[in-house]
Structure 1
Amino acid sequence: MAKVGIFFGTDTGNTRRVAKDMATLLGSGLAAKPVNIRNAEVADLLRYEVLILGAPTYGEGELPGLATGNATESWAEFLPKLAGHDFTGKTIAIYGLGNQKSYPNDFVSAMFYLYDNFKQRGAAIIGECGTEGYNFKVSKAIVDGLFVGLALDQENQKELTGPRVDAWLKTLQAAWA
Structure 2
Amino acid sequence: MKKTGLFYGVNTKKTAQIGKQIQEAFGTDQVDIVPIEEAWKTDFEHYDNLIVGASTWFDGELPTYWDELIPELVSLDLSGKKVAIFGLGDQAGYPDNFVDGVGILADAFELAGATLVGFTSTEGYDFNKSRAVRNNQFLGLVLDLENQSDLTAKRIAAWVKQLKKEWAE
**Same fold, judged at TM 0.5 (above):** yes
Counterpart in the other structure of 1:51: 50
Q: Percent identity at matched positions?
A: 42
Kept in 1: contact 2:74–2:109 (CA 8 A): no
Kept in 1: contact 2:59–2:97 (CA 8 A): yes
- Rounded Cα–Cα distance in structure 2 between residues aligned with 1:111 and 1:131: 13
> Structure 1 regions of 5+ residues with no counterpart?
66-73
Amino acid of the residue matched to residue 63 of structure 1? L
Kept in 2: contact 1:99–1:108 (CA 8 A): yes
Comparing 115-124 and 8-17, the one that deviates more: 8-17
Counterpart in the other structure of 2:84: 93
CA separation of 1:141/1:10 partners in 2, compared to 1, >3 Å: closer, same or farther? farther
Q: Helix, strand or coil: the match of 1:154?
A: coil
Kept in 2: contact 1:92–1:124 (CA 8 A): yes
Q: What CA deviation, in whole Å up to 9, does each residue of 1:90-140 have, x standing for no partner?
A: 000001000011111111111011100111111010011111001111111
CA separation of 1:83/1:108 partners in 2, compared to 1, >3 Å: closer, same or farther? closer
How many pairs does the alignment contain?
168
Cα distance, 1:145 vs. partner? 1.3
CA separation of 1:10/1:57 partners in 2, compared to 1, >3 Å: closer, same or farther? farther
4+ runs of 1 displaced by more than 4 Å?
none
Q: Helix, strand or coil: the match of 2:2?
A: coil
Q: Helix, strand or coil: the match of 2:24?
A: helix
Given the two structures, how large is their TM-score scaled by the length of structure 1? 0.91
